[in-house]
Amino acid sequence: MKKSWIIIIIIIVIIIIIYSSFKGSYNNMVTYNEAINEKWSQVENVYQRRADLIPNLVNTVKGYADFEKQTLTEVIEARAKATSVNINPDKLNAAALQQFQQAQDGLSSALSRLMVVVERYPDLKANQNFMDLQAQLEGTENRIANERRKFNEATRTYNTYIKRFPKNILANLFGFEEKPYFEAETGAEKVPEVKF
């Protein structure tokens, strides 16, 4: 009789340990996944801030650069495309992130072309509204880089956690999938050539 009680107690203790382990692992996966969702919201927030600055920038430039309509149109179209790509954080996968990143890269490229055009207009470069908008845009670009870095850090923590044994078994069991990272633009590894 005494042996059967010992066996029952041992089985109960083992069940409690296994339950605690599963519960802790599952809760950590949920916590890390929510951290990614929060970081993703911040990424979208700073990209939206940039998109909100662009109409004011375009209107300021319009007054000085009447014949640069193609560049302004490209910026407006790139902004529309960038703001139309929205991703639900729960559906975040490599293809969706790549589509989002391509739209944002297109906007960055159009803004770069606009800034090159601005160099031809000294009066515009001296305009206080333009200088303020340019400073805000530069600050926003820094925020974007910072938030993307934070997103990648949260993604690394989550991906590492769900790939480790035995958590990988639980992750597969509960449907936790690997999340994609933001990647550098194509050609970013090349040093730009400066010519005078």
Would you tell me how many other CB atoms lie within 10 Å of the CB of residue 75?
23
Q: Are 151 and 40 in contact (CB under 8 A)?
A: yes
Would you tell me how many other CB atoms lie within 10 Å of the CB of residue 105?
14
Termini Cα distance of the chain: 94
Q: Can you give the pLDDT at residue 120?
A: 74
Half-sphere exposure of 150 (CA within 13 A, CB side): 17
Q: Which two tokens stand for residue 9?
A: 């107690």
Q: Is 173 helix (H, G, I), strand (E, B) or coil?
A: helix
One digit per residue, pLDDT tens: the chain, 196 residues? Answer: 788 888 999 999 999 998 888 898 899 999 999 999 999 999 999 999 888 888 888 877 776 666 567 777 888 888 888 888 888 877 788 888 888 888 898 888 888 888 887 777 777 767 777 788 888 888 888 999 999 999 999 999 999 999 999 889 889 988 899 998 888 665 544 544 433 2
Would you tell me how many other CB atoms lie within 10 Å of the CB of residue 88?
9
C-alpha 167/C-alpha 24 separation (Å) is 10
Q: Can you give the pLDDT at residue 68?
A: 66
Q: Can you give the pLDDT at residue 21?
A: 85
Q: Can you give the pLDDT at residue 186?
A: 57
